[in-house]
Structure 1
Amino acid sequence: MEFCDECGSMMHTADGTWVCRSCGHEQSRDASSEAGVATSQEQQDDGTPAVVDATDGTGEAVREPCPADGCDSDRAHYEMLPKPGGSYEVRLFTCVECGHKWRES
């Protein structure tokens, strides 16, 4: 996988070169650097990553206003959950007062 140096978009291959579908920038392919890339057959699944859980009350609450109607609390516990594919994590909050749950926007 290659990303465009001009605009940052993902590039595709065409006739031995990398071509950006967004801006049209082209660059030649480097076979030696592509040889070091692992294919999906060479990768291994290490299982689901550990989740940091602060909703059990043992962790310190953070200052985060509760969006629930009628709740004036500004403190919540949170947990980090990995997104499918492992691209990034999502922070899920639980209000200390009412128990309302929401995700970071």
Structure 2
Amino acid sequence: MPNARVYILVNSRTASAAEGFAFAMQNLKRATIFGQRTYGAGIAVVYIELGHGLRMVLPEKMVVAPHSTVGWEGKGVVPDVAVPAGEERAAAIALVRDSLHGAP
């Protein structure tokens, strides 16, 4: 469904794979991102057990947008539509209603 409208809600706690999905969909122009700026966790890590209750977290690679070298590490995903915390549900409903009535 390449013409389907997709809306993704994010906030300051959105991180990891959810953040990467939102970033990719935004960069591919496949979704409208709304909410607040995301956490900014764009480096994939590997955990190495060292024994004796110790674990090392080793950065493995920078994750970037499709067809790009740009990532979201440290800066997060900036939403297309900024929505204050606590107003997400009303904003989502308004976006969907507007899209159904022909607004961009």
The TM-score normalised by the length of structure 1 is 0.19
Higher strand proportion (structure 1 or 2): 1
Greater helix fraction, Structure 1 or Structure 2: 2
Higher relative contact order (CA 8 A, sep 6+): 2
TM-score by length of 2: 0.19
Larger gyration radius, structure 1 or structure 2 = 1
